Amino acid sequence: MSERKATIASRVGLHARPASIFAAAVGELPIEVTIGLEADPVEDAMDASSILSLMSLGAANGDVVVLRAEGEGADEALEALVKILETDLDAE
């Protein structure tokens, strides 16, 4: 199981447009990815390809989230996803 931490950079947090962009990127991957707040238990992690899950996570600007994935290419996939989360998608 690969794991990466990311700090949410979007000014409004992981809501609406940033959640949509991130969920679309996860949905293109051939592996399952979960996301959870750093302080939450592993079993509370949610499906990272679901916009509803991302929005209900309540990750605000500056919050640290944990991404987890398993399978071939998981490390590379998580690195790419971290870059998305650590970009202010509201500024683009």
45-54 per-position pLDDT tens digit:
999 999 999 9
The total number of structural domains that make up the chain: 1
| Contacts for 83 with CB less than 8 Å, ≥ 6 apart | none
Whole-structure pTM value = 0.94
Instruction: Identify the domain containing residue 11 by its residue range.
Output: 2-91
CB burial readout 42-81, b (16+ within 10 A) else e: eeebbebbbbebbbebebeeebebbbbbeeeebeebbeeb
Residue 89 pLDDT: 87
Report the CATH number at residue 73: 3.30.1340.10
Q: Quick one: pLDDT at residue 92? A: 63
Report CA torsion sign: 51, 55, 61, 65: negative
Model confidence pLDDT, tens digit, residues 20-58: 999 999 999 999 999 999 999 999 999 999 999 999 999
Active site residues: 15
Q: Which residues have C-beta within 8 Å of that of residue 24, sequence separation ≥ 6?
A: none
